[in-house]
C-alpha cells in the first residue's frame, strides 16, 4: 500500500511537476513568443527608422554633394582667376622686360662690341648679348654673341665647335665643311675692324691623314674672302700664298723635325696639331677642307673654336681716313678734316651709311688751308741803300704778322715748314747806273734782277718751299736804291711732319 501510496505520490508529484513544467514551458513559450513579437516589432521599427535615416542621409549626402560641387566650381573659378592673374602679371613683367630691353637697346645696349657694353656698364655679367658691330639702325641686324665680361671679349658661336670626324676620301679637299656662324660675314668683319685682336683656335687630331704629302696640300681652310690658307697657327707672315705651318713648326717641336706640322707625318700613330689663328684680317675660318683620309684606319677630327675678338683698335696718331673716324666711333655722315698723306690737313666727306671696305665711304674734297699761325709781311725802304753784297734792310713796316722778317736786317727766317711766296720790287736811285739785286735762300742766289735804266722796276716774285729756319733775303749787287718794297706770306703750311 505504501508502495502504491508512494507510487501515487510520486506519480502525482511527477504529474504535478509535469503540469508545473508544462505550465512553465507554456509561459516560457508565450514569453518567448511575446519577446519575439516585441523583437520583431523593434526590428520592424528599426527597419523603418533606418529607412527613414537612410533617406534622410541620402538627402543629406545629396545636399553635401551639391555643396561640394558648388565649392568645387568656386575653387575652379578662383583657380582660373588666379591663373589669369598670373598670366597677366607675367605678361606685364614680360612687357616690362621688353620695355627695359628696348630702352637698353636704345641707350646703353645694342653696343658694337662686348667691350663697349662692358665699358658702358661694368656690372654686366658674362653671357649671351645682342651687339651690332656695323652700327645700330643700319646694315645688318644685331647678332647674338657670347660676352666674356671679365676680359670684354666677343665670341661668335658656330655649328662646328665640337670635335667632328672627317669622312674617308682621297682627293685634296674632298672633305669640306662650311662653318655656319650665327652672324653675317659683314658683322664679323666689322667686329674685327673694331677690335685690336681676333683669334680662333683649331685642333686637328690625325692618324694617317696628312695635311701635306710629297708637296701636295690635302688640307686647308678658307679665309673670310674664301681664299685657301695652309697655316694652322699664328699669323700669315710669309708672302707665299702657300705658307704652310702648324704651332709645332713655329716652336720647332714637331714629331718629325723636318716637317712643320705633326699631321704632315706619315707615322702610324695618333697625332695632333693645336694652334691659334691670329690673322685678324683673314678670320674667321669659313670652310675646313681635308683629304687623304681614304684608309679605313685613318682618323681625322677637327675642333674649331669660336671667333673671338677683344680690345679696341688702336689708331696710331690722328685719323687719316673716314675708316679711322668710323673706328673711333663717328657715325654721323658729314665733312671732316683728316691727316692727309701730303702732310697737310685734308677735307673729306664721310658717308657713314657705307662701311669700311666700301669705296663710297670716303670722298676727297680738297686740302684744308690750315696754318698754325699766319706769316705775312710788307716792308718798304725810302732812304738810300748802297752797301753791296748785303741784305737790303727796311725802314718802314706796314705789316709783319708773325715777325718772321727782321726789318732792321732785312732777313726773313721761316718759322715753320711750308710753302712761302715772296715779291721784291725796287728801282735804281741813280739815273744812269746799273742796278742789280739777288734773292738768296740761305746765302745762295736763286733769283736775280738787273736793270740799267732808272725808270725800270726790278721785280722778283717767287714761291719757295722752306724748312723751318731757312733764311731768305734780297742782297744788293750793284748800284743803289732809295725805293724798295718787300712782301711775303706763308701760302701753305706743312702741318704734319
Q: What angle do CA 234, 283, 219 make, to 5 degrees?
A: 70
**Is 355:341 a contact under the CB 8 Å cutoff?**
no
- Nearest distance, CB of residue 114 and Ca ion, angstroms: 16
170: left (phi over 0), alpha (psi -120 to 50) or beta: alpha
Stretch in the footprint of Ca ion (CB under 5 A) among 76-84, 110-118, 138-146, 344-352: 138-146
What is the maximum alpha-carbon separation in the chain? 229
- Nearest distance, CB of residue 143 and ligand NAG, angstroms: 6
Q: Residue 205, SS3?
A: strand
| Cα–Cα distance for residue pair 329/165, rounded to 1 Å | 43
User: Residues near 328 by Cβ (< 8 Å), separated by ≥ 6?
Assistant: 315, 319
- Nearest distance, CB of residue 269 and Ca ion, angstroms: 49
Stretch in the footprint of Ca ion (CB under 5 A) among 136-144, 171-179, 205-213, 364-372: 136-144
Stretch in the footprint of Ca ion (CB under 5 A) among 38-46, 127-135, 307-315, 396-404: 127-135
Nearest to 463 by CA among 488, 440, 445: 488
| Cα–Cα distance for residue pair 335/358, rounded to 1 Å | 17
- Nearest distance, CB of residue 455 and ligand NAG, angstroms: 33
468 binds, among ligand NAG, Ca ion, none (CB under 5 to 8 A by kind): ligand NAG
CB closer to ligand NAG, 25 vs 84:
25
Site for ligand NAG, rule CB under 6 A: 24, 27-28, 31, 126, 143-144, 148, 150-151, 157, 182, 235, 237-238, 240, 242-244, 406, 408-409, 417, 467-468, 497
Nearest to 379 by CA among 394, 389, 361, 368: 394
- Nearest distance, CB of residue 436 and ligand NAG, angstroms: 25
406 binds, among Ca ion, ligand NAG, none (CB under 5 to 8 A by kind): ligand NAG
CB closer to ligand NAG, 279 vs 351:
279
CB closer to ligand NAG, 240 vs 431:
240
CB closer to ligand NAG, 34 vs 77:
34
Retrieve residue 318's grid coordinates.
Answer: 690722328
CB closer to ligand NAG, 144 vs 456:
144
CB closer to ligand NAG, 261 vs 271:
261
**Is 486:474 a contact under the CB 8 Å cutoff?**
yes
Retrieve residue 129's grid coordinates.
Answer: 648679348
- Nearest distance, CB of residue 241 and ligand NAG, angstroms: 9
- Nearest distance, CB of residue 461 and Ca ion, angstroms: 57
- Count Cα neighbours of 395 within 13 Å in the Cβ-side half-sphere: 9
| Cα–Cα distance for residue pair 163/204, rounded to 1 Å | 9
139 binds, among Ca ion, ligand NAG, none (CB under 5 to 8 A by kind): Ca ion
CB closer to ligand NAG, 168 vs 186:
186
- Nearest distance, CB of residue 133 and Ca ion, angstroms: 8
CB closer to Ca ion, 139 vs 415:
139
**Site for Ca ion contains 134 (CB under 5 A):** yes
How many C-beta neighbours within 10 Å does residue 7 have?
12
**Site for Ca ion contains 356 (CB under 5 A):** no
- Nearest distance, CB of residue 157 and ligand NAG, angstroms: 5
CB closer to ligand NAG, 148 vs 376:
148
Evaluate the CA torsion angle 98, 102, 107, 109 in order and state its sign. Answer: positive
**Is 331:301 a contact under the CB 8 Å cutoff?**
no
- Nearest distance, CB of residue 235 and ligand NAG, angstroms: 6
**Is 273:261 a contact under the CB 8 Å cutoff?**
yes
Nearest to 495 by CA among 347, 373, 361, 314: 373
408 binds, among ligand NAG, Ca ion, none (CB under 5 to 8 A by kind): ligand NAG
Q: What angle do CA 37, 42, 45 make, to 5 degrees?
A: 125
Which of 104, 105, 108, 139 lies at the binding interface for Ca ion (CB under 5 A)?
139
CB closer to ligand NAG, 151 vs 477:
151
How many residues interact with Ca ion (rule CB under 5 A)? 3
| Cα–Cα distance for residue pair 23/29, rounded to 1 Å | 9
132 binds, among ligand NAG, Ca ion, none (CB under 5 to 8 A by kind): Ca ion
- Nearest distance, CB of residue 353 and Ca ion, angstroms: 11
- Nearest distance, CB of residue 182 and Ca ion, angstroms: 15
CB closer to Ca ion, 134 vs 208:
134
Retrieve residue 420's grid coordinates.
Answer: 712761302
- Count Cα neighbours of 393 within 13 Å in the Cβ-side half-sphere: 7
Tell me the helix, strand and coil percentages in the chain, rounded to 5.
Answer: 30, 35, 40
134 binds, among Ca ion, ligand NAG, none (CB under 5 to 8 A by kind): Ca ion
Which of 116, 132, 193, 273 lies at the binding interface for Ca ion (CB under 5 A)?
132
Residue 185, CA distances (Å) to 307, 325, 359 in order: 11, 22, 18
157 binds, among ligand NAG, Ca ion, none (CB under 5 to 8 A by kind): ligand NAG
380: left (phi over 0), alpha (psi -120 to 50) or beta: beta
| Cα–Cα distance for residue pair 22/241, rounded to 1 Å | 140
CB closer to ligand NAG, 144 vs 453:
144
Residue ranges in contact with Ca ion by CB under 5 A: 132, 134, 139
Amino acid at each position: 500500500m505504501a508502495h502504491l501510496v508512494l507510487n501515487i505520490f510520486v506519480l502525482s508529484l511527477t504529474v504535478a511537476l509535469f503540469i508545473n513544467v508544462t505550465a512553465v514551458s507554456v509561459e516560457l513559450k508565450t514569453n518567448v513568443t511575446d519577446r519575439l513579437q516585441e523583437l520583431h516589432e523593434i526590428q520592424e521599427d528599426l527597419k523603418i527608422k533606418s529607412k527613414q535615416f537612410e533617406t534622410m542621409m541620402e538627402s543629406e549626402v545629396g545636399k553635401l554633394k551639391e555643396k561640394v560641387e558648388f565649392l568645387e566650381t568656386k575653387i575652379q573659378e578662383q583657380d582660373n582667376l588666379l591663373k589669369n592673374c598670373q598670366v597677366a602679371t607675367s605678361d606685364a613683367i614680360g612687357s616690362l622686360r621688353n620695355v627695359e630691353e628696348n630702352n637698353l637697346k636704345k641707350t646703353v645696349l645694342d653696343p658694337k662690341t662686348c667691350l663697349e657694353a662692358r665699358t658702358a656698364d661694368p656690372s654686366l655679367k658674362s653671357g649671351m648679348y645682342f651687339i651690332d658691330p656695323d652700327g645700330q639702325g643700319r646694315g645688318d641686324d644685331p647678332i647674338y654673341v657670347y660676352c666674356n665680361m671679365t676680359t670684354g671679349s666677343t665670341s661668335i658661336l658656330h655649328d662646328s665647335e665640337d670635335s667632328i670626324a672627317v669622312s674617308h676620301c682621297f682627293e685634296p679637299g674632298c672633305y669640306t665643311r662650311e662653318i655656319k656662324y650665327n652672324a653675317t660675314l659683314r658683322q664679323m668683319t666689322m667686329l674685327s675692324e673694331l677690335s685690336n685682336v681676333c683669334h680662333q683656335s683649331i685642333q686637328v687630331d690625325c692618324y694617317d691623314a696628312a695635311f701635306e704629302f710629297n708637296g701636295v696640300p690635302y688640307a686647308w681652310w678658307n679665309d673670310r674672302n674664301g681664299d685657301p690658307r695652309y697655316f694652322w697657327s699664328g699669323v700669315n707672315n710669309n708672302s707665299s700664298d702657300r705658307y704652310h705651318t702648324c704651332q709645332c713648326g713655329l716652336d720647332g717641336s714637331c714629331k718629325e723635325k723636318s716637317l712643320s706640322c705633326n699631321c704632315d707625318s706619315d707615322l702610324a700613330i695618333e697625332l695632333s696639331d693645336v694652334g691659334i689663328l691670329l690673322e685678324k684680317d683673314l678670320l674667321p675660318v669659313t670652310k675646313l677642307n681635308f683629304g687623304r683620309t681614304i684608309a679605313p684606319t685613318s682618323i681625322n677630327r677637327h675642333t674649331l673654336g669660336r671667333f673671338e675678338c677683344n680690345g679696341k683698335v688702336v689708331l696710331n696718331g690722328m685719323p687719316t681716313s673716314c675708316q679711322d673716324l668710323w673706328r673711333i666711333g663717328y657715325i654721323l655722315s658729314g665733312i671732316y678734316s683728316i691727316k692727309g698723306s701730303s702732310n697737310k690737313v685734308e677735307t673729306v666727306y664721310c658717308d657713314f651709311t657705307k662701311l669700311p671696305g666700301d669705296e663710297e665711304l670716303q670722298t676727297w674734297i680738297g686740302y684744308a688751308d690750315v696754318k698754325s699761325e699766319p706769316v705775312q709781311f710788307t716792308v718798304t725802304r725810302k732812304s738810300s741803300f748802297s752797301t753791296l753784297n748785303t741784305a737790303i734792310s727796311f725802314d718802314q713796316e706796314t705789316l709783319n704778322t708773325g715777325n718772321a722778317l727782321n726789318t732792321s736786317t732785312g732777313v726773313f727766317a721761316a718759322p715753320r715748314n711750308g710753302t712761302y711766296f715772296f715779291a721784291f720790287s725796287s728801282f735804281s736811285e741813280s739815273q744812269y747806273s746799273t742796278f742789280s739785286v739777288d734773292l738768296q735762300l740761305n746765302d745762295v742766289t736763286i733769283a736775280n734782277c738787273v736793270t740799267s735804266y732808272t725808270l725800270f722796276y726790278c721785280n722778283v716774285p717767287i714761291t719757295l718751299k722752306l724748312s723751318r729756319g731757312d733764311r731768305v733775303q734780297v742782297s744788293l749787287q750793284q748800284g743803289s736804291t732809295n725805293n724798295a718794297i718787300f712782301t711775303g706770306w706763308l701760302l701753305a703750311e706743312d702741318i704734319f711732319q
